[in-house]
Structure 1
Amino acid sequence: MSITEEILIAYQKKLGQRIKEIRESKELSQLDVASICDYDKTTISRIENGRTNITLKTLVTLALAMEVDISKLFEFGD
């Protein structure tokens, strides 16, 4: 099976939306998460909007910052 750019972008957007949902449920701002992770606020914004392909290191960092198991980031509900 060939993975197209469209499929990758769709998953980036799903992941970003899930990260945003978790962040908001924890009542954290983008700036709060950025500060904890030592990232720029724009980096968190790009991740949440699905505009960047993030690394495993970034996923782990975000999960730890939001105090959730990394598996929760992949609970897209579809």
Structure 2
Amino acid sequence: MSTESIKIEFYKKQFGINLKKIRESKKMTQFDLATAMNDLNSESFIEKTTISRIENARTNITLTTAIKLSLALDVDLKTLFDF
């Protein structure tokens, strides 16, 4: 595994850990968060399993998804990356 791949995996894991910490501090389940994201926009449907994959660093996210996460959690976008 290249140094770049290792760094990417590290940041994905840290993002997931931080997301879970924020979600739990808001007393939200993964289902609650997915529902809140879906309430923001009906263009794309987010499932609970998607939140799980993000928190467990098993998927890459887009900037759009990060923005939706921040809106659904009612936190600044930079808060999600504050790790």
Fold shared, TM-score > 0.5 on shorter chain: yes
Moved segments of 4+, more than 2 Å: none
* Cα distance in 1 between the residues matched to 2:3 and 2:78: 22
State the percentage of identical aligned residues: 49
Q: What amino acid maps onto 1:62 in structure 2?
A: L
Structure 2 unaligned runs (5+)? 39-45
- Distance (whole Å) between structure 1 residues aligned to residue 58 and residue 6 of structure 2: 12
Once residues 3 and 61 of structure 1 are traced to their aligned partners in structure 2, the CA distance between those partners, rounded to angstroms, is 30
SS at match of 1:63: helix
Cα offset, 1:3, TM superposition? 5.8
**d(CA) in 2 for partners of 1:29 and 1:8?**
26
Deviation at 1:4, TM superposition (A): 1.2
Q: Deviations over 1:12-62 (max 9, x none)?
A: 000011010000000000000011112100000000011111010000000
Q: How does 1:30-49 map to 2 (within 5 A)?
A: 30-38=30-38, 39-49=46-56
How much has 1:64 moved relative to structure 2? Answer: 0.2
SS in structure 1 at match of 2:13 = helix
Aligned residues: 75
Counterpart-to-counterpart distance in 1, 2:67 and 2:76: 9
Q: Could you list the runs of 5+ residues in structure 1 that have no partner in the other structure?
A: none
Query: For residues 1-78 of structure 1, what are the structure 2 equivalents within 5 Å?
Result: 4-38=4-38, 39-76=46-83
* RMSD between aligned residues: 1.3
Counterpart Cα distance in 1 of 2:35 and 2:14: 23
